[in-house]
């Protein structure tokens, strides 16, 4: 049976499963738990800012643009009920799990100072 963990979204926005980190991304008012990992070199997408059109995240490491749709494909199954969220961890995830709160920039409004540089991903 897959592992299920419980998060209080009023207090926590990040889950560590072993060395893999997931963060709560706001996608149009809906909270989704996505992998905090840029497909380019593994940068922290939670610290990315949105591009002016709001559709991509600009990775803080190399400016790689990652489509929000692509980031969403990494999401873990989650059922939110009020502030409580139940999350099914990936298969075979017997690694230590911790739930924390970190600064997340990816949910801020698009960065008005954004310059269109860096490669596209997703």
From 53, 81, 94, 109, residue interacting with other proteins (rule: CB under 8 A): 81
Q: Does 1 bind other proteins (CB under 8 A)?
A: yes
Q: Does 86 bind other proteins (CB under 8 A)?
A: yes
From 13, 17, 21, 32, residue interacting with other proteins (rule: CB under 8 A): 32
Check residue 64 and report its DSSP letter: -
Output the CA–CA distances (angstroms, integers) from residue 105 to 2, 20, 33, 91, 100, in the order listed. 31, 19, 15, 29, 16
Burial of 88 (C-beta count, 10 Å sphere; 0-12/13-18/19+)? middle
Q: Does 4 bind other proteins (CB under 8 A)?
A: yes
Record the tokens describing residue 54, joined without a space: 């709001």
Q: Which is nearer to other proteins, 75 or 114 (CB)?
A: 75
What residues line the site for other proteins (CB under 8 A)?
1-4, 30-33, 75-82, 86, 88
């Amino acid at each position: 049976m897959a592992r299920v963990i419980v998060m209080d979204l009023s207090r926590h926005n990040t889950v560590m499963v072993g060395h893999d980190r997931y963060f709560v991304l706001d996608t149009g008012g809906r909270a989704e738990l996505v992998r905090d990992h840029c497909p380019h070199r593994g940068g922290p997408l939670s610290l990315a800012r949105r591009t002016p059109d709001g559709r991509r995240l600009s990775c803080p490491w190399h400016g790689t643009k990652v489509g929000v749709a692509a980031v969403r494909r990494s999401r873990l199954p989650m059922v939110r009920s009020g502030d409580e969220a139940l999350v099914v961890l990936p298969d075979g995830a017997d690694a230590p799990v911790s739930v924390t709160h970190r600064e997340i920039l990816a949910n801020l409004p698009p960065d008005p100072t954004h310059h269109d540089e860096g490669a596209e991903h997703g």
